[in-house]
Amino acid sequence: MALLCFSFVASAASIDGKWTAEVPGRGGNTQTTTFTLKSAGAAIEGSVANMRGDTPIAEGKLDGDTLTFVVVRKFQDQEFKSTYTGKVKGDSIDFTVDNGRGTPVTFTAKKAG
């Protein structure tokens, strides 16, 4: 039984730490974004930081190598929700973010040294 538990833990993706990405934006510009992530079992805590500031994540979870979380930003009395879905692949995470305003954006975050 101990071997089965070890196999399950070993197969879970490790996401703890800082990750950075160049996220495509409007007009072909990119924005450097830093993800700070910490796992607590299947639950994920952390924040997303970019030129708009540091925003906590919500509803974070890790299921195998699939990472999902939501970021809600407020601007001029309005809330903007972004839903992130990522596939963890060693020292990178392939993300798709859906802002609910058009085509979802894809990018890759790399583990910060």
Which pTM was predicted?
A: 0.84
Q: pLDDT by residue (tens digit) across 52-98?
A: 889 999 999 999 999 999 999 888 888 899 999 999 999 999 999 99
Number of H helices, E strands in the chain: 1, 8
CATH number at residue 78: 2.40.128.20
Of the given ranges (7-11, 27-31, 36-40, 71-75), which has the lowest mean pLDDT?
7-11
Q: How many domains does the chain have?
A: 1
- In terms of residue numbers, what domain contains 26? 2-111
- The pLDDT of residue 21: 97
pLDDT over threshold 90, residue 10: no
- The pLDDT of residue 92: 97
Helices (H), 1-113: 2-11
Helix (H, G, I), strand (E, B) or coil at 38: strand
